[in-house]
Amino acid sequence: MYDLITFGRCGVDVYPLQTGVGLADVETFGKFLGGSPTNVAVAAARHGLRSAVITAVGADPFGEYVRRAIRGFGVDDVFVSTIEGPATPVTFCEIFPPDHFPIYFYRGEHPPDLRITPSMLDLRAIAETGLFWFSLTGLSREPSAAAHHAALEARTGGWTVFDLDYREALWESREAARQAARRALPHATVAVGNLDEVETAVGVRDPEAAAQAMLDAGVRVAIVKMGPDGVFARTADDERARVEPMEVKVVNGIGAGDAFGGALCLGLLRGWPLERTLRFANAAGAFVAARLACADAMPTTSEVEDLLNGVAS
Amino acid sequence: MYDLITFGRCGVDVYPLQTGVGLADVETFGKFLGGSPTNVAVAAARHGLRSAVITAVGADPFGEYVRRAIRGFGVDDVFVSTIEGPATPVTFCEIFPPDHFPIYFYRGEHPPDLRITPSMLDLRAIAETGLFWFSLTGLSREPSAAAHHAALEARTGGWTVFDLDYREALWESREAARQAARRALPHATVAVGNLDEVETAVGVRDPEAAAQAMLDAGVRVAIVKMGPDGVFARTADDERARVEPMEVKVVNGIGAGDAFGGALCLGLLRGWPLERTLRFANAAGAFVAARLACADAMPTTSEVEDLLNGVAS
């Protein structure tokens, strides 16, 4: 039995080894484990949680790398399928600190992780896990969307976290993404997204109103990441919390959201108070934002606590 | 007016900086100009030929890089279009010297260079150039195939070289590739391919018989690259030539074919005897095979002559 299972995309992040220059001028690249739900599982594993990810790779060397990297980070790969045909996706980015990190997906129309069918799922494991994490991108294509809803139907308790992760390039339209979000929200207990993502999901950008709309849709906890304005959350019991952003020198903002996610899983599973959870998750995100790497930079619990306590790392 | 114009794909080759290991173990990558017809134009420009390439890139930083690299190698980019929507293609490879160089295309279903329409062509420039080079891959999708045939119809003299370049991953079936090759062969004066490619085009693998089939289809010169057995050619005047492979320590075989192509253009345009052309092109290929880079390693005429004369480079 797992503390948490995430469901969604994976791939290889081929990231520049030079920062502050565009792809036209980058000279060398490194390769890293990528895909938000996959890296959330990695981030959670760093906190000592028993984690697994439901995803799929292509039958190619990059697929082998992804599977090996997942295992290397201490995440169980038993639910990682290998699918013949489509290539394991690749993602490039540009790193312009402190706040511009454009992403370039090479995922094709039907990447392996969107070909997961309901029959490929271990619904018992999904039902039993303490926390189930899924993202909006997984709802962008069939049969993946049907598989997500089969998983959601199997959930009868525990936390079900909906990462509103909206990537414009992966959808036909924002309206299609909104419809998919609205259909899935009633099955989640937690929803989390940045301002753009909550606007995509519920049509309003104001944090209070967006959180209210997510609660109205059925979640128990609504979390809005407001960038330079910090993080805001509301619960169905009308509890509110807001934390300020941490002052760190941002090197690469990519991956901060996944670090936040893994830390959020820890707070939810431990039953921490809302504000403590937010502060901890916020610090975990800042920890990764201050480093070039993503999956490789995910902090342990004590590293996050040191950062919160002002201990130099 | 150009000595030659090539037509076909382009992209970014993201190649490992470590050789002899699979992609799962590669740690760092470099980026290079890619796409066979593009690199043939680069190879030809290194021999002092006025070259241009008809291709298209995406409206993204990699597209900017491709255009800049084309210009940087002295090839005119006036016929390079920028197309909104699809990403500039990316290609990975594995480098297992001396003879295993698998390629992994990330081109999507409809990359920019296969969206070139007949109306985008400068048919006058295509008619006037001394040599027009195209490849089989350009016939794999519409509207690119229609554009290729519009270009071929415009040709009334000079050399028209058909590179039988067959990439299995880019076709629905080998039979579809064969039909496309058969339709285009009567419009070419030269056809060139390796054993697998000539078999795809004309259905026979034996070099003599394959050359005969290509001559029967209407070309004046048929060239078969036989790997370890060298290169064989026959002409419509029943001239024959065969050259042995050069003894070089192969570092990366990718790009050798494009170096061969650029050198072949020089021999054809200079009116060299068949055997001299083959020997020269063969040495140009060997020159690049002995180096990690492709576009960046294309030899000048004197570098090829030095290699032929046994002068250490």
Minimum-distance CB partner of B22 among A61, A92, A104: A61
Contact A161, A132 (CB under 8 A): yes
Question: Mean pLDDT across the stretch B134-138?
Answer: 98
Q: Inter-chain contact B109–A108, Cβ cutoff 8 Å?
A: yes
Strands (DSSP E) found in chain B: 4-7, 11-16, 28-34, 51-58, 80-83, 90-93, 103-106, 131-135, 159-163, 190-194, 221-225, 231-235, 240-243
Low-confidence ranges of chain A (pLDDT < 70): 312-313
* pLDDT tier, B309 (very low <50, low <70, confident <90, very high otherwise): very high
Domains and CATH numbers, chain B: 4-308 (3.40.1190.20)
Nearest CA in chain B to A62: B24
CB proximity B172 to A under 8 Å: no
Q: Is the pLDDT of residue B311 over 90?
A: no
Which tens digit of pLDDT belongs to each residue from B16-48? 999 999 999 999 999 999 999 999 999 999 999
Shortest Cα–Cα distance, A144 to chain B (Å): 20
Six token digits for residue A196? 């753009």
For A274-313, the DSSP string reads: HHHHHHHHHHHHHHHHTSS-SGGGPPPHHHHHHHHTT---
Nearest CA in chain A to B26: A31
* pLDDT tier, B312 (very low <50, low <70, confident <90, very high otherwise): low
Question: Mean pLDDT across the stretch B281-291?
Answer: 96
In whole angstroms, what is the distance from residue B295 CA to residue B72 CA? 11
CB proximity B23 to A under 8 Å: yes
Q: Inter-chain contact A108–B108, Cβ cutoff 8 Å?
A: yes
Minimum-distance CB partner of B87 among A64, A94, A104: A104
Predicted TM-score (pTM) of the model is: 0.94
| Interface with B, mutate which of A13, A17, A29 (most B CBs under 10 A) | A29
Q: What is the pLDDT of residue B169?
A: 87
Q: What is the pLDDT of residue A311?
A: 76
Which tens digit of pLDDT belongs to each residue from B166-186? 999 899 999 999 999 999 999
Q: Is the pLDDT of residue B201 over 70?
A: yes
Q: What is the pLDDT of residue B313?
A: 54
Contact B16, B62 (CB under 8 A): no
Q: Where does chain A have alpha helices with state H?
A: 36-46, 61-72, 123-128, 144-154, 174-184, 195-202, 207-216, 256-270, 274-289, 301-308
Put simply, the chain A residues between 52 and 91 with a CB less than 8 A from any chain B CB are 60-62, 64-65, 68, 87, 90
Residue B134's nearest CA partner among B119, B115, B155, B103 is B155
In whole angstroms, what is the distance from residue B269 CA to residue B279 CA? 15
CB proximity A23 to B under 8 Å: yes
Q: What is the pLDDT of residue A313?
A: 54
Q: Which residues of A touch B62 (CB under 8 A)?
A: 23-24, 92, 104
Q: Where do we find the tokens 């180096």? A: B291
Q: What is the pLDDT of residue B107?
A: 96
